[in-house]
Amino acid sequence: EIVMTQSPATLSVSPGERATLSCRASQSVSSNLAWYQQKPGQAPRLLIYGASTRATGIPARFSGSGSGTEFTLTISSLQSEDFAVYYCQQYNNRGTFGQGTKVEIK
Amino acid sequence: QVQLVESGGGLVKPGGSLRLSCAASGFTFSDYYMSWIRQAPGKGLEWVSYISSSGSTIYYADSVKGRFTISRDNAKNSLYLQMNSLRAEDTAVYYCARVAAAAGYYFDYWGQGTLVTVSS
> Residues B65-74: pLDDT tens digits?
999 999 999 9
Contact A43 B95 (CB under 8 A): yes
| pLDDT-derived band at B45, boundaries 50, 70, 90 | very high
| pLDDT-derived band at B104, boundaries 50, 70, 90 | confident
Contact B45 A36 (CB under 8 A): yes
Count of pairs with CB atoms under 8 A, one residue in A, one in B: 57
Find the CB nearest A43 among B44, B62, B111. Answer: B111
With 90 as the cut, is the pLDDT of residue A74 above it? yes
**A interface test, pick of B6, B107, B108, B109 with most A CB neighbours within 10 Å:** B107
Q: Is the peptide bond before A40 cis (omega within 30 degrees of 0)?
A: no
Give the pLDDT score at A94. 85
Taking the CA of residue A46 and the nearest CA in chain B, the distance in Å comes to 6
Average pLDDT, chain A: 96
Give the count of alpha carbons within 13 A of A96, CB side only: 19
SS (H, E, C) A42-63: CCCEEEEECCCEECCCCCCCEE
| pLDDT-derived band at B101, boundaries 50, 70, 90 | confident
> A41 to chain B: nearest residue by CA?
B112
Q: What is the dihedral of CA A78, A83, A85, A90, to 10 degrees?
A: -20
Question: In chain A, what residues touch B110 (CB-CB under 8 Å)?
Answer: 43-45
| pLDDT-derived band at A36, boundaries 50, 70, 90 | very high
Contact A46 B45 (CB under 8 A): no
> A46 to chain B: nearest residue by CA?
B108
**pLDDT exceeding 90 applies to what percent of chain A?**
94
Give the pLDDT score at A106. 87
